[in-house]
């Protein structure tokens, strides 16, 4: 059985009860492999997260920090030989991209090591953000522009979405909003709503875009909050996904271009 720890952030102390549990689970203490969340910033050395383990009385024979100073093949070997793998907190997307570039995710999944993640690292351990990793490697998703909402101080990723250029009209700018995702433990806090509103406002102000489509797989109620409306049923293309439209200037019945396919 694999042991995973999904941690938040501890500023002033490390909980004693958590330390006791870690003491019981971390028996093999030969090697700790820490994966940076900002691999270009070499001063980000995981000192805070390492201090948590020190407070718990858990010491290792070897400590390894994996960032761009470490060659890809060497990083993979460190993961394969690690007793504990610790995904450090910080920048979720940078760490996610590093895991993908260095091909570490599958090695972590296959490892018998105890795997820990703090803040951003915990997000990258979750199934939801494994999906984001897959998306970032997909040619389809590379066609759009990613927007993310981050916590100001910790840079924890709160929500993300992709905006696609839809070439539906020679006269009008049309954008599609898709792949809206929020980590499970951060849902129902309004982060996706903030991001959607900010992205639409940015596109309206900066490039004068006033035509937005999205496909909803969760019904239409949530997106009605942002004044999206369902296109007429006669124009819907899919059974399980609802195409919706928003414009502060144009009515859905007045547009002359075709409804986009699922994006």
Using one digit for the tens of pLDDT, what is the confidence trace for 18-29? 999 899 899 999
Strands 229-230 and 242-246: antiparallel
The CA distance from 100 to 168, in Å, is 33
**Percent of the chain predicted with pLDDT > 90:** 47
DSSP state of 261: P
Q: What pLDDT, on a 0 to 100 scale, did the predictor assign at position 120?
A: 81
Domains located in the chain, CATH noted: 4-130 (3.40.50.880), 138-254 (3.40.630.30)
Contact 180, 159 (CB under 8 A): yes
Among residues 241, 109, 113, 123, the alpha carbon closest in space to that of 181 is found at 123
pTM check: above 0.85: no
Strand order from edge to edge, sheet including 242-246: 145-150, 157-165, 175-181, 212-216, 242-246, 229-230
For the stretch 200-251, pLDDT in tens is 999 999 899 999 999 998 899 999 999 999 999 988 998 888 999 999 888 8
The most confident of the ranges 5-9, 82-86, 90-94, 172-176 is: 82-86
The CA distance from 121 to 117, in Å, is 4
The CA distance from 183 to 93, in Å, is 13
The most confident of the ranges 53-62, 93-102, 138-147, 253-262 is: 53-62
Alpha-carbon torsion (115, 121, 122, 127), positive or negative: negative
For the stretch 114-141, pLDDT in tens is 999 988 888 888 754 555 555 555 555 5
């Amino acid at each position: 059985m694999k042991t995973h720890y999904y941690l938040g952030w501890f500023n002033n102390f490390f909980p004693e009860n958590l330390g006791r549990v870690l003491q019981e689970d971390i028996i093999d203490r030969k090697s700790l492999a820490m994966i940076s969340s900002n691999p270009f910033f070499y001063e980000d050395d995981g000192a805070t997260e390492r201090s948590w383990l020190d407070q718990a009385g858990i010491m290792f024979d070897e400590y390894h920090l994996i960032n761009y100073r470490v060659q890809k093949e060497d990083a993979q070997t460190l993961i394969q030989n690690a007793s504990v793998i610790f995904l450090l907190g910080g920048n979720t997307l940078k760490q996610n991209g590093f895991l993908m570039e260095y091909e570490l995710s599958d090695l972590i999944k296959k490892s018998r090591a105890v795997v820990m993640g703090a803040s951003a690292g915990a997000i990258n351990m979750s199934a939801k953000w494994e999906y984001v990793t897959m998306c970032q490697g997909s040619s389809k998703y590379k066609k759009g522009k990613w927007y993310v909402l981050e916590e100001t101080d910790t840079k924890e990723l709160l929500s993300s979405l992709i905006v696609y250029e839809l070439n539906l009209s020679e006269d009008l700018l049309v954008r599609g909003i898709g792949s809206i995702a929020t980590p499970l433990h951060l849902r129902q806090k309004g982060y996706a709503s903030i991001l959607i509103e900010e992205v639409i406002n940015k596109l309206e102000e900066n490039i004068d875009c006033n035509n937005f489509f999205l496909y909803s797989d969760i019904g239409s109620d949530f997106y009605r909050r942002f004044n999206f409306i369902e296109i007429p049923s006669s124009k819907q293309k899919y059974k399980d996904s609802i195409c919706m439209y928003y414009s502060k200037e144009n009515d859905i019945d007045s547009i002359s271009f075709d409804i986009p396919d699922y994006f």
